[in-house]
Chain A
Amino acid sequence: MSENIKVLSPEGVVGIESCNDLRVQLLQAFDTADPVLLNFAHIERIDLSFVQLLYAGVREARIRGIGFRFNGEVSKEVGEYLVTGGFCKEVPAQARELENNLVELQDK
């Protein structure tokens, strides 16, 4: 059986201005697809709104038993933001490294 994949590819600065739209898209994707892929390749910068969305998304997917995967390269700015904020220990090069390395989301 083929998978019903949904890919979300936010672009540029993903922060307080755009996160609510992304949240709605994510909820719709969780309702209709499995797995849901979040592509980091076009994200240049983020703020805390996006990080919160990421955490809420991972938890939501786990509750629903849906695959929520990250892919694409992580920009230097995004990686450093996550490390400075204490959300991961090392700057990730690839988004898939984040799947199991966001603090408080490991090994669950």
Chain B
Amino acid sequence: MLDKFQESFREEAYELLNDLERILLILEDQPESQEDIAAVFRVMHTVKGSAGMFGFTEVARFAHEVESTLDAVRNGRIPVTPQLVSLTLEARDHIREMLDEPASAGVKFTAVSDELIERFRAHVAPATEPAGLGIQEPETSLQELTGEEENGSSQNDAPNKDVSQAKTASDADEMLGETKEHAHPVTYRIAFKPGESILLNGTNPVLLLDELAEMGELSAIAYTEAIPPLSRLEPENCFVAWDLLLTTKKGRTAVRDVFMFVEDDSELTVEIIDEPEGDEHDHEYRRLGQILVDRGFVEAGKVESIAVRQQRLGEMLVEGGVDPRRIEAALAEQEHVERSRKKLQNELSSASVRVSSEKLDDLVDLVGELVTLQARLMQTAVHVGHSGLTLVSESFDRLATELRDNTMSLRMVPIGTTFSKFKRLVRDLSHELGKQVEIKTIGAETELDKSVIDRLNDPLVHLIRNSMDHGIEKPADRAAAAKPIEAQILLKAEHSGATVVVTVEDDGAGLNRERIRARAEQRGIITPGQELTNTDIDELLFSPGFSTSENVTSVSGRGVGMDVVRREIEGLGGTVAIHSTPGKGTSIQLVIPLTLAIIEGLLVQVGEAMYVFPLSSVGECIELNHQDRLNNGKRHFVANRGEVLPYVVLRDVFSVSGNEPDIEQIVVVSAQGEDIGFVVDEVIGDHQTVIKNLGRLYRHIEGISGATILGDGSVALILDVQKLCSLAKREHHVSH
């Protein structure tokens, strides 16, 4: 069981490892980027340091070894190669696994750690040995970090003790304060005077400032008075110093880490000068005189003697011989802090809070109940015929709708959180398959209900794997086809009404329809010579167990894929469509509802039973004369807008008894790329549908996706339109 400090470290480490993965993928494309090399080293250094502090000794031991290799990269002793990036990604995954299962870290993972460490050492050895350079130990030793003696306790212990160095809870709090992010931004004053030789060592100090600027709001005050006259200037030496004001949530360790490689040769102080605590940030910041005294630029007595003259203090101090640049720096500090406080104040007024998804689910359930009750109230008001009650009920209806929309929006998260995982997937598969593939994403900010996003991950993994394995050609084949060697996969998300369309598109070879047909014939899915359109052939891919792959690989070819994708997406109430052009590529479109909790529905009646169509799939409603239908016999078609519209009689599908009205209604829905009508007795109207799962007994009824409670307490079944269309086709209720 982890204590709160260890939990806190683990959360932070997960974020660091995500950063590490992202930076490594960039570094693979830009191996010369010193900035990214430094960033990778810093992440590993921080993981090592914090892991040691909080008792994750195996993580610390392993990270220490990886850091040694990264140190060799940072010092230019070994280059960044694709192999090293792969190895470091493996190390990153290994650390993640150790963090996931801290209790077994000491036993289960040691062998893997050792094997990886050996590979890191082997990677460094050939590059360094000829020149007589071994791996140098990074600045901080493992023992320093874990607090263990050289001959002390085993490094493989699981974190079964409190924070290893922290003797008391307040010690641990202090440690966390150094490493952990602050709840609100704090302002640091950083005095940085680089060593004269910093430029010769290959460090560009302004890039360090750039890194600080990425952490928050930075004001830099440069001191240039030490630059010698032109005749004596040696431009390769550094004569500039800085006062830096940084407002950020980052902990002091993260700030200091920016200077990790130059700290030994530089003068550096990092102090917090302003730490607003939520609502305590509205008091006035320190006066100019106080800042100057604190910085040691002016004696307190001098400020007091000048202040009594009731003139502008800055001007008087200059007159009194204080360097104007120092006063300017103090004024910049005053201005920076006041600006940061104002910004914080604005942010706090629209501050966000983190709420567990379980609580949100509970809230959605309660809102669902409220919506149901509201429908009942509305019905009662109409029944009673009391105008006052009707008025209240209508107002309540408006509020309930607004509350429903707001509540649903709370569960919306950007799909980009899922998209970002696929960069790594594509990268790893590219290596495995010997293909060069770039993944591009569009619409990562598109929002979907969290529960939908969670269920979208596996289908997208299948689609990308298929695309990489079957769709995209080998580099030689692409070259022969006069295509760029590097293939592209586009992952796109966009809103379309009450749905989100997610597209996975590649510029590969497209579907090999001859091969699909041959394999389908071989498996007896179709009869030899059966007449099929291109769309029909493409649809064969969704047959259970279908695969054109000759060999089973770790990537695909097990025949578990497209049918699972369709099942998953249809389980979400969505659809899958495939478009392919030979030689140009394949595009797979997933149309998914925004949410699974409450939908806008169209309530209809058949006999005594009530049904709900998801409104997003309804195109229109048209009338149908019952007698005309009977006269048509088994030919279930009507003419609609100059087109032939096939229809299904819902009464027949669900075996509903009772009299049919003279004028029936056809609800026209779009499904699987076609319009299909469903004949019902009566269209009641739109209905806010709170989706309730069917019990275990009824869960597998085809054509029904759930149920909802109506205002009078009765139950209406929610129709699974996609499934009904498939059923109708299968059972010839609809025939073209």
User: Which residues of A pack against B, CB within 8 Å?
Assistant: 16, 19-20, 22-23, 26-27, 30, 47-53, 55-57, 59-60, 63, 81, 84-87, 103-104
Contact = CB atoms under 8 A, between A and B. Distances in A.
A23 B233 contact: yes
Interface in B335-378: none
Contacts of B209: 84-86
A84 B213 contact: yes
Nearest to B332: A86
Interface of B: 199-200, 204-206, 209-210, 213, 218-225, 227-231, 233-236, 238-240, 242, 244, 325
Contacts of B219: 86
Contact of A81 (B206, B224, B225): B206
Contact of A104 (B199, B224, B233, B238): B224
A85 B238 CA distance: 13
Contacts of B218: 84
Nearest to A105: B224
B230 A87 contact: no
B235 A103 contact: no
B330 to A, nearest CB: 15
Nearest to A80: B210
B106 to A, nearest CB: 46
Contacts of B199: 16, 47-49
A26 to B, nearest CB: 7
Contact of B240 (A20, A23, A52, A59): A52
Contact of A52 (B200, B233, B242, B325): B233
Nearest to B243: A86
A57 B229 CA distance: 8
A15 to B, nearest CB: 8
A48 B229 contact: no
Contacts of B244: 86
A34 to B, nearest CB: 15
Contact of A56 (B206, B223, B230): B230
B222 A26 contact: no
B235 A50 contact: yes
B314 to A, nearest CB: 15
A1 to B, nearest CB: 26
Nearest to A88: B222
Contacts of B221: 86, 103
Contacts of B238: 48, 52
Nearest to A104: B224
A84 B240 contact: no
Interface of A is mostly: helix
Given A16-B235, A16-B236, A47-B206, A59 B229 contact: yes
A48 B230 CA distance: 15
B235 A20 contact: yes
A87 B205 CA distance: 13
A51 B234 CA distance: 12
A19 B220 contact: no
A56 B218 CA distance: 26
A104 B220 CA distance: 13
Nearest to A61: B230
A48 B240 contact: yes
A86 to B, nearest CB: 3
Contacts of B210: 84
Contacts of A85: 205-206, 209, 220, 222, 240, 242
B236 A56 contact: no
B220 A86 contact: yes
B231 A48 contact: no
A23 B224 CA distance: 17
A48 B325 contact: no
A59 B226 CA distance: 12
A104 B225 contact: yes
B227 A56 contact: yes
A104 B230 contact: no
A49 B236 contact: yes
Contact of A59 (B200, B223, B230, B325): B230
A86 B221 CA distance: 5
B325 A19 contact: no
Q: Among A23, A60, A86, A103, find the residue whose CB has the most chain B CB atoms closer than 10 A.
A: A86
Given A55-B224, A86-B242, A103-B222, A48 B233 contact: no
Given A48-B199, A104-B223, A104-B224, 10 more contacts: A16-B235, A23-B233, A52-B233, A52-B235, A55-B224, A55-B227, A59-B229, A60-B231, A84-B213, A104-B325
Nearest to B198: A48
A16 B238 CA distance: 10
B222 A49 contact: no
13 contacts: A16-B200, A20-B236, A23-B235, A26-B230, A47-B204, A55-B227, A56-B229, A60-B230, A63-B229, A86-B219, A86-B220, A103-B221, A104-B224
A48 B224 contact: no
A19 B235 contact: yes
B574 to A, nearest CB: 45
Contacts of A50: 235
Nearest to B236: A16
A53 B220 contact: no
B235 A87 contact: no
A49 B199 CA distance: 8
Contacts of A23: 230, 233, 235
Contacts of A86: 209, 219-222, 242, 244
Nearest to A107: B324
Contacts of A55: 224, 227
B83 to A, nearest CB: 31
A101 to B, nearest CB: 13
B519 to A, nearest CB: 56
Nearest to A81: B206
Contacts of B204: 47-48
Nearest to B223: A104
Contacts of A49: 199, 235-236
A59 B227 CA distance: 10
Contact of B206 (A20, A30, A63, A84): A84
A97 B206 CA distance: 21
Contacts of A51: 240
Contacts of A26: 230
A27 B222 contact: no
Nearest to B233: A56
Nearest to A82: B206
B203 to A, nearest CB: 10
A27 to B, nearest CB: 6
Contacts of B227: 52, 55-56, 59
Contacts of B200: 16
B218 to A, nearest CB: 8
Nearest to A63: B229
A85 B213 CA distance: 11
Given A104-B225, A104-B325, A52 B239 contact: yes
Contacts of B229: 56, 59-60, 63
A101 B362 CA distance: 59
A25 to B, nearest CB: 11
Contacts of A16: 199-200, 235-236
Q: Which of B213, B227, B231, B238 has the most CB of A within 10 A?
A: B227
B232 to A, nearest CB: 9
